[in-house]
Chains A and B, each alone.
Chain A
């Protein structure tokens, strides 16, 4: 079983701040890296699925990069808004089509 680690564990920022989180994963036998956004009392929702080294993906103010050689991914949020408050999960896909999740980064954006 892979070990996926996320940092920081939690983050408090002011509205308008830009922020980023890290996800690290074993670089050997890499298949794919997923990012999910999880609001309280809701289901985790996919943000990105990334497979290629150097990949960069963007969805509105949120973007992610992937480095498969060194085993890390960054998630960036530009101009944070209170509605961005959520837990952000990353997961590495393991052989056998299963996701191994990190513990998540809890983001709180104060207005």
Chain B
């Protein structure tokens, strides 16, 4: 059983389209995150939800909208896709604070905008 699963694994789409990436965790964690691996390969936080409530919202264009229907799911919807949105997006989860516990990551979704 995959602890944190993302779908799809690969996504190729045209500029201007709207797309969603889904994430589910079966670990019973309270907190979920979206990270983006940028062009320099750094993992950078985008959003964090705790018990369906938005906690972290980094400087991300408002074309990106996370949605958490329940604490086991955090989906990422992207409107009006741009070429610069091409990246690998990682979902993660943790049991409350990262001060005491690690984050568990999904395998990533490689988004290519053409």
Contacts and interface: CB of A to CB of B under 8 A. Distances in A.
B83 interface: no
Nearest to B40: A103
Contact of A101 (B44, B56, B101): B44
A34 B98 contact: yes
Interface string A74-111: 00000000000000010101001111111110000000
A43 B108 contact: yes
B55 interface: yes
B40 A49 contact: no
Contacts of B50: 97
26 contacts: A31-B98, A32-B100, A34-B98, A36-B105, A41-B107, A42-B107, A43-B4, A44-B105, A45-B105, A46-B103, A49-B101, A93-B98, A93-B99, A96-B48, A97-B48, A97-B55, A97-B56, A97-B98, A97-B99, A98-B56, A99-B45, A100-B45, A101-B42, A102-B42, A103-B42, A104-B41
B64 interface: no
Interface residues of B, number: 27
Residue among B33, B50, B98, B107 with max Cβ neighbours from chain A (10 Å): B98
